A and B are shown apart, each in its own frame.
Chain A
Amino acid sequence: MKSNTAAVSGFKLFVKNNQIGMALVISALLFLITITLNPKSLNPITFGSILSLTSMLLIASAGQTLVIISDGIDMSVGATMSMTALLAVSVMRGSSDVGKMLLALLACLAVGGLVGLCNGIGSVKAGLPPMVVTLYISNIVSRLQYVATNGKPNDTKAPDWFKSLITTRFGGFFPAIVLFAAVFFVLMYYLLNRTRYGQQLTLTGNNNRAAFLTGIKTTKIKMLNYVLAGALGGLAGFIGAGNSGFIKCGTYDGMTMDSIVAVVIGGTLLTGGKGSYSGTAAGALLLIILSNGLAVLQVTDSIKNMIMGAVLIILLAAYNRARPVRQ
């Protein structure tokens, strides 16, 4: 009896305190349910599809993770990705020249960083609400794509070799984009867990004033964070250019909301101060497996959207309430 009680309380503790673990457990359960109800879905294409979609979302959510940990939010991720994806295909112009690819990479990082700098100036230096500032910056970035191209970009696709680099599936199921996501993961893990910058960022997000009083240059950290997040968005757009067969104005605009959802499902608090990229990875995986499962089970589009909304609200309610111990 005692051991049963201990097991139950142990399980409750795990559920309560281990968001990442729970996201992975729920993902595994959903996947099991999916393949049990529809055994046909247990095939290499399923694994490839889940890995590929999760990787793209994980890459797109890197900057968002940093910004939300620092008590901000970035509504310009999608627009930045769209802009830099367009920029990447415009610079590469179908060429097989690696030099042009590197130039496109640098251009995407620079443009993304510039967008991040504008976000930072508005949100941190001017002290305006991050949601409003980044939303307006997003609007401007979106419209600049149309101003620059008149809505009809001359170049709309990445060179075939670059596309293959991103979308090839090794052994018929393992997408190359997973390797890019793995590099993102290692870098982000190191940044957040093994550097002073990562520690200072978490402290700043948790309690800006306390962090400032301990000697952390919070304004500088937050500004740098927005620039870094913008550059990561630019890098995501660069990879996205190869991941999609056709880039037009606004291709990745929808990534903004997906990135926020992936980050918060993974346990990163919207109020800042707590979060991790491994959580974002778990959140992205859960989001994709849930969507995939509902598609596999032949649920209609409307019901699928309703179920996804309900599940996400339950998860957010369970794990994303701010702790009342701050400030």
Chain B
Amino acid sequence: MKKVLSALLVVVMIGALLAACGGTGSGAAASTPAASTPAASTPAPSEAPAATGGFKVASHNAVVEGNPYRTVYEDQMAEAANAAKAAGLISEYNSFVANNDPALETQQLEQSINDGYDIILVNPIAASGLDAVIDKATDAGITYVNADCIYDSDKILNVVVDQDAYAKLNSDFVIKTLGAGSKVVQFKGIEGNSATEIRSKRWTEDLAAANIEIVKAVAHNWSDPEAKQLMSEILASGLEFDGIINEESAQGIMDAIEEAGAPYPGCITSSEEIAWIRRIAKINENELVCPFIVTENPPGIGATALAVAINVRLGNELDESKMHSPTEIYYAPQWIMTYDNMAEKLDEVKDMPDSMSISSYLSVDQAKAAYFK
């Protein structure tokens, strides 16, 4: 009986895991195309792609489950790939997820190299550890492009969101709204994460220069329940502050404030979840009671990286004057909402579900115009 039950359990687990893996996008049709703001169509370029009818593209992602950002990343990548397929630029597109397992990530990348993909796009687990795979891919003539989380290598092209520009938009807003002599609480994402560190550095420098004191800095790990607990504790401490500078998880922060009946902060910054956009707009529906800025941190960076990779593969020459460095393309956030353009921006997202995030990306032609000669 025990053996039968054990076997049955194993079969059920494997079945469920396989079903679950199917949902994470291991295949071109795995993700439902997302509604994105300026997702342009992908017309055929002037040069014809490979004689095979298009390039073979593999996308490698560190994680999808538990991460709404990566969900949109995968969706928009699939959307852009479908558009490129329709334009005859891509013949095959497949997506692989390593679930934060470095060994699996390496194995999947090796497999993609062996399977003869023309383009490999990687959103890596860490900023190092893939050098051997990169060497193998470049030796095989594969266009290897790293997207989103930066990878430290001068052998590949990094296409990443300009986190410094993102952070500067927020710090400028806080400085303009609160002014010198004010005090803010800083909510970081995950300490040690490259995006969090770049943002934190910019905020610390800008606010100090503007004579604004960060009276408390905490990390909510991009988790709403953690953000709620931290904000509850800060309110309980009687700490005096004028505003909040924050990345993501603003819902948890606002839950704590509203539940405690505390006054709204003098300003709050955040990223681009649709639910938050609607909530902060509702708070300020009748008049401005809580100044805010919503800045996109576009998960569509993966799709932009795809557009860049296709251009590279087509033989177009990168324009270094338009790049951050010879191996780095920085994509600056485009979608920004404040009280001043609230109505217009709300209208842009009216058909998007609460669980989505704002994200824009460049088409093949737009990427060519932006970063190539």
Chain B positions 1-24 with a Cβ under 8 Å from a chain A Cβ: 1-2, 5-6, 9, 12-13, 16-17, 19-24
Taking the nearest CB of chain B, how far is it from the CB of A47, in angstroms? Answer: 8
Query: Are B225 and A244 touching (Cβ within 8 A)?
Result: yes
Query: Are A295 and B237 touching (Cβ within 8 A)?
Result: yes
1/0 per residue A134-174: CB within 8 Å of B? 00110110111011011111111100000000010100100
* Binding-face segment, B42-50, B146-154, B256-264, B286-294: B256-264
Q: List the A side residues contacting B229 at CB < 8 Å.
A: 53, 291
B103 located at the interface, meaning its Cβ lies under 8 Å from any Cβ of chain A in the complex: no
Query: Are A151 and B71 touching (Cβ within 8 A)?
Result: yes
Taking the nearest CB of chain A, how far is it from the CB of B66, in angstroms? Answer: 4
Question: Interface on B for A, CB 8 Å cutoff?
Answer: 1-2, 5-6, 9, 12-13, 16-17, 19-24, 31-32, 34, 64-66, 68, 71, 75, 191, 216-219, 223-226, 228-230, 232-239, 251-252, 254-256, 258-262, 273, 275-276, 279, 353-356
Query: Are A45 and B262 touching (Cβ within 8 A)?
Result: yes
Q: List the A side residues contacting B261 at CB < 8 Å.
A: 45, 169, 172
A301 located at the interface, meaning its Cβ lies under 8 Å from any Cβ of chain B in the complex: yes
Question: Interface on A for B, CB 8 Å cutoff?
Answer: 38, 40-41, 43, 45-46, 48-50, 52-53, 118, 121-122, 125-128, 133, 136-137, 139-140, 142-144, 146-147, 149-157, 167, 169, 172, 175, 244-246, 248-255, 291-292, 295-298, 300-302
Task: Tell whether A295 pairs with B233 under 8 Å between CB atoms, given A140-B16, A152-B355.
Answer: yes
Query: Are A144 and B20 touching (Cβ within 8 A)?
Result: yes
Q: List the A side residues contacting B353 at CB < 8 Å.
A: 152-154, 156
Taking the nearest CB of chain B, how far is it from the CB of A123, in angstroms? Answer: 10
CA distance A51 to B109 in the complex (A): 49
Task: Tell whether A52 pairs with B20 under 8 Å between CB atoms, given A128-B9, A142-B66, A251-B224.
Answer: no
Query: Are A253 and B66 touching (Cβ within 8 A)?
Result: yes
- The closest CB in chain B to the CB of A172 belongs to B261
Quick one: which of A150, A172, A302 contacts B31, CB cutoff 8 A? Answer: A150
Taking the nearest CB of chain A, how far is it from the CB of B248, in angstroms? Answer: 11
Query: Are B6 and A147 touching (Cβ within 8 A)?
Result: no
For the residues of B in contact with A, the DSSP-based class is helix
CA distance A297 to B237 in the complex (A): 8
Interface-central residue, B31, B32, B228, B273, by most chain A CB under 10 Å: B228
Q: List the A side residues contacting B6 at CB < 8 Å.
A: 126-128
Q: When A and B form their complex, what is the total count of cross-chain residue pairs whose Cβ atoms lie within 8 Å?
A: 178
Task: Tell whether A146 pairs with B236 under 8 Å between CB atoms, given A45-B260, A127-B2.
Answer: no
Task: Tell whether A136 pairs with B13 under 8 Å between CB atoms, given A295-B230, A296-B236, A296-B237.
Answer: yes
Quick one: which of A45, A122, A150 contacts B235, CB cutoff 8 A? Answer: A45
Q: List the A side residues contacting B260 at CB < 8 Å.
A: 45, 48-49, 169
Q: List the B side residues contacting A246 at CB < 8 Å.
A: 224, 251-252, 255, 273, 275-276, 279, 354
- The closest CB in chain A to the CB of B21 belongs to A143
Taking the nearest CB of chain A, how far is it from the CB of B331, in angstroms? Answer: 22
Task: Tell whether A245 pairs with B68 under 8 Å between CB atoms, given A45-B262, A126-B9, A296-B237.
Answer: no
13 contacts between A and B (CB under 8 A): A46-B238, A48-B259, A125-B5, A126-B2, A146-B23, A152-B32, A156-B275, A172-B261, A245-B224, A245-B254, A295-B236, A296-B238, A300-B217
